[in-house]
Amino acid sequence: MSTRRRFLAGAAAATASVLAAPALAQNLIEWRMITAWPKGLAGAGTGAQRLADRIGLLTQGQLTVKLYGAGELVPVDQNMTAVMSGDAEMSHDMSAYYLSKSPAFAFFSAIPFGLMAQEYNAWIYAGGGRVLWDELGEHFGIRAFAAGNTGARLGGWFRREINTVDDLKGLRFRIGGLAGQALARLGVNQMLMPGSQIMPKLQSGDLDAAEFMGPVNDLSFGFQNAAKFCYWPGFQEPCAALQLQINRSKFDELPPTLRVAVEAACTEENSRSLAEYNARSPTAIAQAVTQQGVVLKQFPDEIYKAFGTASGEVLAGMIDNGDDLTKRIATSYLAFRQETLLWTRIGDQGYANMRLLDYSYPKAG
């Protein structure tokens, strides 16, 4: 090749490179993720950041996500509205926060006396829940994915002992969702407020009891310093599934590879979040008991039965008054719950009960 031809070829390549750079830059996308949690909140907050970072890595920077803590971009109770309007592309939160938009959202978060974390995942991924969730989301212009789970919740932190159903009457209890509605049938005053406001209310005596997100987060807020009676297990949320809800139009506009990457990141975070909560909860609750004077107690069976009956009444009323889609979602959820009760009893529950028997087994240390 002559010197002139080599020069022209090199110039053409350089020109192509310069022209390609802006074209590539135009394909880069930055989305805003609003959340229901303070930045850095153990578990939920750190998980949201991990999810945002993971989306960027899996897409090799083609889709980056900027995270906003609770209330930074919009008020927390407006998160879903902001995603629907496109003011934010995505929100990390709980679907149960949006019962005012549709009671069916409860089934994709937590139902009192409902599915545990592994059962919930089975329903979503393999039991028909995913299809119904997509159908519900279509009505609001969103697409949602399971993107975290706190696992089992505590029954709550109480300033005094609860020994009978009558002891619940007049109790000012910070508890949300369907569980709060159920307790109201037993004379409890349901109090609603964000996690950051709970501790001051417990300290002042404006609250008699509270529950939030289990040992890891409850103890980080200091509930154990104001309410020394901790009851277990929680009936209200046998698992608390977190979600990433996304503006549906924005999601559908993404190339297929980016859509798959977002879903994969959510699935990974769903598993990692549950693992983190399960790993950290034992140490957190043990320290509360051994170092901070917390009294760990179970409610009497009569109270749990009352909780169960009241929860069933609320759920039945919600289904009876719901639209066709809510009824179909409820039917799917409840049918799966009924079927999985047998296997859980034989498998996980049977094994857990067996493990509590008295036998010789090595211990650490």
CATH code at 244? 3.40.190.170
In this predicted structure, what is the pLDDT of residue 19?
37
Q: How many distinct structural domains can be found in the chain? A: 2
Residues 161 and 234 in one domain: yes
Domain that holds residue 199: 156-238+282-341
pLDDT in tens, 8-23: 444 444 444 433 333 3
- For residues 96 and 234, membership in a common domain is answered with no
Residues listed for the chain = 365
- Asked if residue 57 and residue 199 are part of one domain, the reply reads no
pLDDT given for residue 11 in this prediction: 45
Q: Is residue 349 part of a domain?
A: no
Q: Express each pLDDT in 346-365 by its tens digit.
A: 999 999 999 999 999 999 87
Quick one: pLDDT at residue 27? 82
Domain presence at residue 8? no
* Inside any domain, residue 9: no
On whether residue 84 sits in a domain, the answer given is yes
Q: Helices in the chain by DSSP H: which ranges?
A: 3-26, 44-58, 79-85, 117-126, 129-138, 177-184, 198-204, 215-221, 248-253, 256-291, 301-320, 324-344, 350-355
66 and 121 together in one domain: yes
The conformation of residue 96, written as its DSSP 8-state character, comes to G
Asked if residue 69 and residue 210 are part of one domain, the reply reads: no
Q: Verify that 95 and 168 share a domain, yes or no.
A: no
Give the SS3 label for residue 312.
helix
* Domain membership flag for residue 78: yes
- Residue 16's alpha-carbon distances to 1, 5, 103, in angstroms, are 20, 16, 55
Q: Are residues 223 and 297 in the same domain?
A: yes
- The predicted pLDDT at position 92 comes to 98
pLDDT, one tens digit per residue, over 177-199 is 899 999 999 999 999 888 889 99
| Residue 146 parent element (H or E) | strand 142-149
In percent, the amount of the chain with pLDDT more than 70 equals 93
Residues 167 and 270 in one domain: no
Reported confidence tier of residue 176, pLDDT bands at 50, 70, 90:
confident
The 8-class DSSP code of residue 233 comes to S
In a domain, 95, yes or no: yes
The CA distance from 296 to 231, in Å, is: 6
Are 234 and 319 found together in one domain?
A: yes
What is the H or E stretch that residue 65 is in? Answer: strand 63-68
Q: Are residues 228 and 286 in the same domain?
A: yes
| Run of H or E residues at 157 | strand 156-158
CATH number for the domain that contains residue 312 = 3.40.190.10
Residue 4: predicted pLDDT:
46
Q: How far is CA 142 from CA 55, 119, 245, 250, 332, in A?
A: 18, 24, 6, 9, 21
Token output for 121: 């995942």
- The answer to whether position 162 is within a domain reads yes
Residue 26's pLDDT is what? 61
Tell me, yes or no, whether 10 lies in a domain. no
The kind and range of the H/E element at 41 are none
In the prediction, which pLDDT does 75 show? 94
Shared-domain flag, residues 58 and 165: no
Is 179 in the same domain as 266? no
Residue 119: the pLDDT is 97
Average pLDDT on 76-80 reads: 95
